[in-house]
Every structure is written in C-alpha cells, then in structure tokens.
Amino acid sequence: MTRRIILRTPEEKADLDLSWSRPDVELFASGACHVLAAAFLIEYPEAGFRPWRLAPRAGCRGGHLVVVRDDLVFDWAGYEQRDAFLFDYFGSMRRIFPDWDARFVPVESDPIGWEFCTRHDHRHPSQFRHDPLPRARAFVGRFPPGKRVP
C-alpha cells in the first residue's frame, strides 16, 4: 500500500476558515491529527491505546500523531499494523522529501493540552475556527475500537 500523504498548503496553515473547510480526512491527516488521537483516547479509553508521534528530524516537515496499542496503529486512515504503517509512512514521505527522517516516540502528555501543543507547534483546540473535538469524535465513531476496518 502506498500511503497518501496530505500536507497543508501555506494558505491552509494561515487561514482558519480554509483549513476548517477541508474534508475530514484532510483535516485529520494534516493539522488536526493530534485532535483525532485525543478523540480516539476519549471515545475508547479502555482499548489500551497510547499516543505516539512521528517526530521529524530538524528541518523536516511531516510530523504526525497517532495512537498505538501493541502492533496496531490508528489514524485518519483507520487501523494498520505498526510495522506496515511505519514502512509505508516513511516510504511515502521519502518519495516527496528524499532526505526525510523521523523518530517514532511515545507522547507522555495530553495531545490536546497546551503543553503538548506549544512544545510541538500544534494548534490548541481553542485555536481552530470551531471546536474540532466533536468533529474528531464523530470521525472516530466510524471505527470500532481496536479492529481493522476494511
């Protein structure tokens, strides 16, 4: 599988209305992945998932936040085996940016808390045009907890 990489344009980063008006997949793939991860943890607190971050090396873009349980990853594309997700994500990013590299690290703080958002240059939910959490919770609700969805 070749993962579809969605990157926001400079205009989408600067314009809250334009960013918000994107389809769910685009919003949660780029710009609100941390909100989607938090929504998943809220919706399925007993599923055993934890937030993890693809942290690009300095000078690279394309970071991403997901939730992980054992060898299962969830993000905007649904569930995927951890090794397959990482292989696909790294390969897809390197097709766009040949020197791209990142570390895959656990996140110890609330992915929508001010501490996390400030440290990792993510918008806090209060900084979106509208509250993104209800939209993210509705999106997560399409996926049963911890099961692969075709």
pLDDT at 96: 92
| 145 within domain boundaries | no
| 148 within domain boundaries | no
pLDDT at 4: 85
| 77 within domain boundaries | yes
pLDDT at 149: 41
| 2 within domain boundaries | no
Contacts 24+ apart (CB under 8 A), 85-91: 88/1, 88/2, 88/3, 89/3, 89/54, 89/64, 91/2, 91/3
Pairing assessment for the beta strands 50-56 and 64-69 based on DSSP bridges = antiparallel
Domain with 132, as residue range(s), is 10-140
In the chain (150 residues long), the average pLDDT of successive 10-residue segments reads 83 94 96 97 95 95 94 94 95 94 97 96 95 98 71
pLDDT at 150: 37
| 1 within domain boundaries | no
Domain count, the chain: 1
C-alpha distance across the termini of the chain, in Å: 13
| 146 within domain boundaries | no
| 149 within domain boundaries | no
DSSP 8-class letter at 127 = G
pTM: 0.93
| 117 within domain boundaries | yes
- In this structure, which amino acid lies at residue 105? V
In which element (H, E) is residue 88 found? helix 82-96
- Kindly list the distances between the CA atom of residue 97 and the CA atoms of 30, 60, 62, in Å, as whole numbers in the listed order: 16, 8, 10
